[in-house]
Homo-oligomer: A and B are copies of this chain.
Amino acid sequence: MHLDSASIDAMPSRERAALINSLSGFKSANLIGTADAESHCNLAIMSSVVHLGSHPPLLMLVVRPGGEERHTLHNLLRSGHYSINHVAAGMVDAAHQTAARYPRDVSEFEATGLTPSWWDGFTAPLVAEAHVQLAMQLREHQELAINGTHLVIGEVVQANIPDGCLKEDGSLDLNAAGTVALTGLDSYHRADLMKRMAYAKPDLPPRTLS
């Protein structure tokens, strides 16, 4: 099946959104926790966290204009703090429900039954039920002229990782941590490790590890 700009443009809006949201491949599933000046909490599921660099440890988040995500953006720009919490298999229903358009004075924590967790010196709530919790300090923000989305760049300043999930090389075993993957707008997946590949070198064929 072949699509071009004209056929994509001609699609009904919802179908186009479902398709284009699928084209990048598998996505991360994270809950973003923030608080306003009165410590009213907001929690929003996002699939757009990506790695930007490891020294300093930077992650980037794409936030759409308008919608539920504007509370998240407002809060994190005010305080400079936000949390990134991996969605684990047992949290999928509650995590997805945070996408509902609750009124501003309703906390998605209360509405979905998730529990805010507070860390010393950090003004955004983390999600107690999450196995991987990251405290983020805002480093850079920009609005893209091309479509009004916001790029939020932050540094990992604290991290909670479940014991026994770190591999020898330093990497985190996301399957062991229970983390799920997202596709499109609504599909949640558990992932099975196929293989780990050794560092690629021009003079050696591809090799699997362990």
The answer to whether B52 and A169 touch across the interface, beta carbons within 8 angstroms, is no
Chain B residues, Cβ within 8 Å of A140: 144, 146
Q: Which residues A137-190 have CB closer than 8 A to chain B?
A: 139-140, 144, 146-147, 149, 151, 153, 155-163, 166-167, 169-172, 174-175, 179-190
The answer to whether B25 and A49 touch across the interface, beta carbons within 8 angstroms, is yes
- Kindly state the separation between the CA atoms of A102 and B200 in the bound complex, as whole angstroms: 10
The answer to whether A171 and B185 touch across the interface, beta carbons within 8 angstroms, is yes
The answer to whether A183 and B171 touch across the interface, beta carbons within 8 angstroms, is yes
- A5 nearest in chain B by CB position: B157
The answer to whether A15 and B197 touch across the interface, beta carbons within 8 angstroms, is no
The answer to whether A93 and B153 touch across the interface, beta carbons within 8 angstroms, is no
- Kindly state the separation between the CA atoms of A17 and B188 in the bound complex, as whole angstroms: 27
Residue of B2, B51, B163, B169 touching A159 (CB-CB under 8 A):
B2
Q: Shortest CB–CB separation between residue A7 and chain B, in angstroms?
A: 9
Is A66's beta carbon under 8 Å from chain B?
A: no
The answer to whether B28 and A174 touch across the interface, beta carbons within 8 angstroms, is no
Chain B residues, Cβ within 8 Å of A12: 170
